[in-house]
Structure 1
Amino acid sequence: MTISLSGFIEFIRTDMEITAIQVPDDSPSIALAYGGAVEWVNQDIASVMPNLYTVAVYNLAASFLVNYGTESVFSELRKTLGLNNFKAGVITGASDNSTSSQRLVPDFFKDLSLADLQMLLDPWGRRYLMIAQQFGSLWGLS
């Protein structure tokens, strides 16, 4: 699989289930999200795993689209997914008078940037991070 803007548009229509009525094919939001993802995703992945590179680019572009797209469908998705709700990090524990709970936070979470934390909030960003993490310190992820 090779990446292309038309391939990303197909991804939007099938994986994201966003119609051409909601967001036309010539929307600047689509081109900007796709272009940003192509620049962001490490191209070395394409040499090792070309199909996974395509999946990484399209999922990161979808995350960018959901987070920054100007069309109303994206505003609704941001509201539904809580993408505009600020979260400073990962909660490690909670308690009240009679109960408490804690989770082990993997070291991976300690090095996440604000952009990475934002990507964790939507399913496409999480898919991208799963791929990026497999390639370790190229991104500062380990």
Structure 2
Amino acid sequence: MPGDSTPTLAGFQAFVRDIMQVPGGAVPPDGVLGMVFRLANDLVIRDLRLIDGSLYTDCVYNLAASYLLRFAQDTTSSTPPGYWAKVREQLGMNSTTPGLIQSSSDNGTSQSWMIPDSLKNLSLADLDAMKNPYGQFYLSIMQQYGSVWGWA
């Protein structure tokens, strides 16, 4: 396979440290890192390896990072304190977004956004992933792959 690369937990840990730049005192326990890595590894469509193995690996790491942003918890010993809560707040991840705004109006004005077909069938998890750069990367690649993706 071109650019053959296999995602690993050690590779994801390096991604968390080097790409996400999570401070050492805020890195979650290996169990949490392993859980989000396995979840992403199971969900990213394996056919991407046929295009480029490194692209598949990048998608796994970025989806795992998106899940990590959602699931990581601060502890009393986290340094800096409240790291994950602050990141989620900065990214606007603390609220549920059940969909996209299609129309808005008041007495004097009216606006409407066209919702592209590619966004109409997003799941709640996909909408959540759109709130952070790692999930956005993953979704942008998956939507290039096709309009429907899922288990491979």
TM-score normalised by structure 1 residue count? 0.88
Q: Are the equivalent residues in 2 in contact too, given 1:46–1:52 (CA < 8 A)?
A: yes
In the other structure, the counterpart of 2:79 is none
* CA–CA distance in structure 2, aligned partners of residues 29 and 90 of structure 1: 30
Q: Are the equivalent residues in 2 in contact too, given 1:12–1:62 (CA < 8 A)?
A: yes
Residue 49 in structure 1 maps to residue 52 in structure 2: yes
* CA–CA distance in structure 1, aligned partners of residues 147 and 109 of structure 2: 38
Superposed displacement of residue 118, structure 1: 1.0
Superposed displacement of residue 138, structure 1: 4.8
Equivalent residues, number: 139
SS in 2 for 1:21: helix
Aligned CA RMSD, in angstroms, stands at: 1.7
Stretches of structure 2 lacking an aligned partner (at least 5 in a row): 75-81
* CA–CA distance in structure 1, aligned partners of residues 72 and 50 of structure 2: 30
Superposed displacement of residue 137, structure 1: 4.5
Give the aligned residue type for 1:27.
D
Q: Are the equivalent residues in 2 in contact too, given 1:65–1:74 (CA < 8 A)?
A: no
Give the aligned residue type for 2:99.
G
1:16-46 C-alpha deviation (Å, 9 max, x unpaired): 110222215x532211111111111011111
Superposed displacement of residue 73, structure 1: 2.3
In the other structure, the counterpart of 2:25 is 21
Residue 9 in structure 1 maps to residue 13 in structure 2: yes
Q: Are the equivalent residues in 1 in contact too, given 2:59–2:137 (CA < 8 A)?
A: yes
- Structure ranking higher on relative contact order (CA contacts 8 Å, 6+ apart): 2
The within-5 A match list for 1:55-134 is 55-71=58-74, 72-134=82-144
Query: Identity rate of aligned residues, in percent?
Result: 39
Stretches of structure 1 lacking an aligned partner (at least 5 in a row): none
TM-score normalised by structure 2 residue count? 0.83
SS in 1 for 2:25: coil
Q: Are the equivalent residues in 1 in contact too, given 2:118–2:147 (CA < 8 A)?
A: no
